[in-house]
Amino acid sequence: MSTTNVANRVQLRNILYATDFSQAAGAAFPYGAEFARRFGAKFYAVHVRTPENYVLAAPEAWTSLNEEYEKQERELRQVLRNDLPDIETEVLTAEGGVWAVLESVINEKKIDLLVLGTRGRTGVRKFFLGSVAEDIVRQAPCPVLTVGPHSPSEPPREGRFREILYATDFSEESLGAVPYAISLAQEHHAYLTLLHVIEKSGAPDFRRPNEVEASVIQQMQNFVPDKAELWCEPHYAVAEGKPAEKILEVAIERKSDLIVLGVRKPKGMAGGATHLPIAVAHKVIAHALCPVLTVRA
Domains of the chain: 14-296 (3.40.50.12370)
pLDDT band at 210 (very low <50, low <70, confident <90, very high): confident
Q: Burial letters for 33-67: b for 16+ Cβ neighbours within 10 Å, e otherwise?
A: bbbbeebebbbbbbbbbbeeeeeeeeeeeeeeeee
Greater confidence, 202 or 22? 22
Q: What integer is the mean pLDDT of 232-257?
A: 95
pLDDT at 128: 35
Greater confidence, 137 or 103? 103
CB 189 within 8 A of CB 204: no
Question: Taking 70 as the threshold, does the pLDDT of residue 231 lie above it?
Answer: no
pLDDT at 37: 95
pLDDT at 296: 85
pLDDT at 66: 79
pLDDT at 204: 57
pLDDT, tens only, 159-173: 889 999 999 999 888
pLDDT, tens only, 37-48: 999 999 999 999
Give the Cα separation of 146 and 249 in Å (integer).
19
pLDDT band at 277 (very low <50, low <70, confident <90, very high): low
Q: What integer is the mean pLDDT of 61-67?
A: 74
CA 229 to chain centre: 24
Question: Taking 50 as the threshold, does the pLDDT of residue 268 lie above it?
Answer: no
In the chain, the amino acid numbered 182 is: I
Q: What integer is the mean pLDDT of 249-253?
A: 98
Give the Cα separation of 258 and 163 in Å (integer).
7
Q: Which helix (H) or strand (E) holds 61?
A: none
pLDDT, tens only, 86-113: 999 999 999 888 899 999 999 999 999 9
Phi then psi dihedrals of residue 53, to 5 deg? -60, -35
